[in-house]
Amino acid sequence: MTRQPLPPSLYADTAVAPVATPPLDTDKSVSVAIVGGGYTGLSAALHLAEQGVEALVLEAHEPGWGASGNNGGHTNPGLKHDPDQIEADFGAELGRRMIEFSYGTPNFTHNLIRRYQIPCEARQNGTLRAAYNEASAAAIEKTAQQCIRRGMPVSYLNREQLREMTGTDRYIGAMLDARGGDLHPLSYVRGLARA
C-alpha cells in the first residue's frame, strides 16, 4: 500500500517534522492493537505505555493524517449541553463525572503537553463562547452561572467587556473559561506519536 501525502494545508506546511512510522510488514503480537493514529489512538497508546502495557498503533497513512491533524486546534472545555441539563439527563453522580471530565479536558491536554514537552505552540489562555443575539447571550450566561456555581474558572462578559477584549461590537455577551486555549493540531499529534 502506498501512503498518501498529507493534504495541503497551513498545518502541513508549518508542523514539526513527522515521526518515522515504518510499515508493519510482519506478524506482530502485542497486548493491545489500536487502529487509528489520531489523538484518541495515540493518547491511548501513550497512557497504556505509561502503565507498562505494550500497544501498537496501526495507521493507514501517518499520525494526524485525518481530523486530528487538520482541525482548528482549539482546546475547548465543556459539552453541547449546560451542566444542569447533563445532570438532569444522566443523574447526579454520572452527570457530575461527565461535567468534570468534559470541562477538565483542556487541563488534561495542556498538562500532557507540558509533561512530554510537546512542541505544538500551545497556549492555555482561555476561550470565549460568544453570542451575537439575545437568545444566545441568555443561554451562554445561564451556562456560565452554572459553571461558576460549580467552582469553575469561568466568567460572563458583557458587550463592553467584550469590546475591550476583542476590539469589536459584534458580540453582546460571552463566557470566558480560563482553562481553554489552542495549539497546532498536527504538531500536537506528531508530538504524541513521538512521546
Count CA within 13 A, CB hemisphere, residue 192: 29
Give the pLDDT of residue 2: 63
Give the pLDDT of residue 18: 93
What's the predicted TM-score (pTM) here? 0.89
Residue 128 is placed in which grid cell? 470565549
Q: Indicate the average pLDDT of the chain.
A: 95
Give the pLDDT of residue 1: 54
Give the pLDDT of residue 22: 87
Give the pLDDT of residue 50: 96
- Which residues in the chain land under pLDDT 50? none
**Hey, where are the domains in the chain?**
127-178
Give the pLDDT of residue 6: 85
